[in-house]
């Protein structure tokens, strides 16, 4: 659907206001839209039964870069009291939609990139950066306490629980850093880049990764250098985005397989049935297993 048609749907949906959602079944509920489902999951953990969360990007089997807004997106945004999205040009369609939305109530917008000082041109996969989720969680919890002060004690307790739940992830990263700092690795895209930096890897083939992320063609020289790293086992693991496995990525995976080099999948969307914490921990587990099994 064309953007103009979607914006018409937004205007129509906004006319219904927020009251029907805000007092569903007689219980105050804060309507929230998260552009990405990992932010949506965190918001549910923080708000419990007092939030109604709609996540826009929520299919782990689809490439997020191919997302197109729909009337359903428009309706959700028109009713939202709180909107949370990534920013740093990862989800630029949110800026366009929000700029054209009219609501009958006040809407608060939280942008992860603004909280963490990131800008367009930086690696936009902020949810893999350890400081991001604590910053987002604190901002969301502060909003919920202000919007629904009757449940402030619950929100404070849930925030404390959430922050505590991130400590094992931080500890795991610290342990991996003690073992693997300076170890050369490579990736098809910089999706996992912030966590890789936190572990202290030597990340190779970054020009290639940037080109793939920006959906431009890597240079022949960069492709050749990448393949040489794999064939000659100059890296310990290949990290790849399993939601964007085009012909070139599949070719590199084949080269790695032929070289008996381990590959680890990461995703840009939270898999079904997992919390944010479980998702990150499972990917760290897979990476640690691959590194432990690497042999020269």
- At 263-283, the pLDDT tens digits run 999 999 999 999 999 999 999
CB 205 within 8 A of CB 225: yes
Q: Interior CA angle at 196 toward 45 and 256, to 5°?
A: 115
Tokens 């990862």 locate to 90
Is the predicted pLDDT of residue 292 greater than 60, yes or no?
Answer: yes
- How far apart CA 99 and CA 104 sit, in angstroms, is 15
pLDDT at position 2, please? 42
Same domain, 161 and 193: no
Same domain, 233 and 222: yes
Domain that holds residue 103: 3-165
DSSP of 158-226, one letter per residue?
Answer: HHHHHHHHTHHHHHHHHHHHHHHTT-EEEESSGGGHHHHHHHT-EEE-HHHHHHHHTT-PPPHHHHHHH
- How far apart CA 187 and CA 55 sit, in angstroms, is 28
Beta bridge partners of 184: 202
pLDDT at position 100, please? 75
Cα distances from 271 to residues 61, 157, 242, 274, 279, in angstroms, run 9, 26, 12, 6, 7
Same domain, 111 and 155: yes
Q: What is the pTM of this model?
A: 0.88
DSSP of 49-91, one letter per residue?
Answer: GGEEEEEEE--TTS-GGG----HHHHHHHHH-SEEEE--TTSS
For the segment 244-256, the average pLDDT, to the nearest whole number, is 93
User: What is the tens place of the pLDDT at every residue in 204-238?
Assistant: 999 999 999 988 999 999 999 999 999 999 999 99
Q: For residue 116, count other CB atoms closer than 10 A to its CB.
A: 19
- What CATH number has the domain bearing residue 255? 3.40.50.1980
Q: In what order do the strands lie in the sheet with 184-187?
A: 202-204, 184-187, 238-241, 263-266
pLDDT at position 76, please? 79
Same domain, 212 and 133: no
- How many secondary structure helices (H) and strands (E) does the chain include? 14, 8
User: What is the tens place of the pLDDT at every residue in 75-99?
Assistant: 778 889 999 999 999 999 898 888 8
Mean pLDDT (the chain) is: 88
What angle do helix axes 152-165 and 37-47 make, rounded to 10 degrees? Answer: 130
pLDDT at position 66, please? 65
pLDDT at position 27, please? 53
Residue 147 makes CB contacts below 8 A (sequence gap 6+) with: 30, 81, 82, 108
Domain final residue pick, 150, 165, 180: 165
Same domain, 257 and 113: no
pLDDT at position 113, please? 98
Cα distances from 40 to residues 125, 239, 249, in angstroms, run 16, 25, 29
pLDDT at position 296, please? 58
Domain final residue pick, 138, 165, 192: 165
Residue 87 makes CB contacts below 8 A (sequence gap 6+) with: 111, 112, 113, 114, 118, 124, 126
Same domain, 140 and 175: no
Tokens 């552009």 locate to 35
Domain final residue pick, 165, 191, 221: 165
Is the predicted pLDDT of residue 201 greater than 90, yes or no?
Answer: yes
Is the predicted pLDDT of residue 144 greater than 90, yes or no?
Answer: yes
Residue 88 makes CB contacts below 8 A (sequence gap 6+) with: 112, 113, 118, 119, 120, 122, 123, 124, 126
Report the domain count for the chain: 2
Same domain, 121 and 173: no
User: What is the tens place of the pLDDT at every residue in 176-189?
Assistant: 999 999 999 999 99
Token representation of residue 188: 């098809």
Same domain, 154 and 11: yes
For the segment 102-108, the average pLDDT, to the nearest whole number, is 76
Same domain, 177 and 119: no
Is the predicted pLDDT of residue 126 greater than 50, yes or no?
Answer: yes
Same domain, 182 and 146: no
């Amino acid at each position: 659907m064309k953007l103009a048609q979607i914006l018409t749907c937004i205007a129509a949906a906004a006319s219904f206001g927020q009251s029907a959602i805000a007092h569903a079944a007689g219980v105050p509920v804060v309507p929230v839209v998260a552009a990405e489902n990992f932010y949506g999951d965190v918001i549910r953990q923080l708000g419990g039964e007092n939030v109604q969360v709609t996540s826009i990007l929520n299919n782990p089997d689809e490439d997020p870069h191919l997302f197109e807004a729909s009337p359903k997106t428009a309706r959700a945004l028109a009713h939202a009291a709180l909107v949370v999205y990534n920013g740093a040009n990862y989800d630029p369609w949110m800026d366009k939609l929000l700029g054209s939305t009219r609501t009958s109530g006040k809407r608060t917008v939280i942008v992860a990139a603004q909280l963490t000082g990131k800008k367009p041109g930086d690696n936009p996969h902020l949810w893999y950066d350890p400081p991001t989720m604590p910053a987002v969680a604190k901002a969301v919890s502060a909003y919920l306490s202000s919007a629904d002060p009757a449940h402030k004690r619950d929100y404070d307790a849930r925030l404390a629980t959430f922050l505590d739940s991130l400590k094992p992830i931080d500890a795991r990263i610290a342990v991996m850093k003690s073992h693997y700092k300076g170890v050369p690795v490579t990736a098809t895209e910089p999706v996992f880049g912030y966590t890789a930096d936190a572990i202290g890897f030597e990340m190779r083939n970054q020009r290639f990764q940037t080109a793939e992320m920006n959906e431009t063609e890597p240079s022949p020289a960069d492709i050749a250098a990448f393949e040489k790293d794999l064939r000659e086992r100059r890296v310990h693991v290949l990290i790849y985005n399993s939601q964007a496995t085009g012909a070139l990525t599949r070719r590199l995976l084949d080269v790695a397989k032929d070289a008996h080099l381990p590959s680890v999948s990461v995703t840009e969307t939270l898999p079904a049935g997992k919390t944010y914490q479980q998702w990150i921990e499972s990917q760290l587990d897979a990476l640690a297993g691959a590194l432990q099994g690497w042999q020269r």
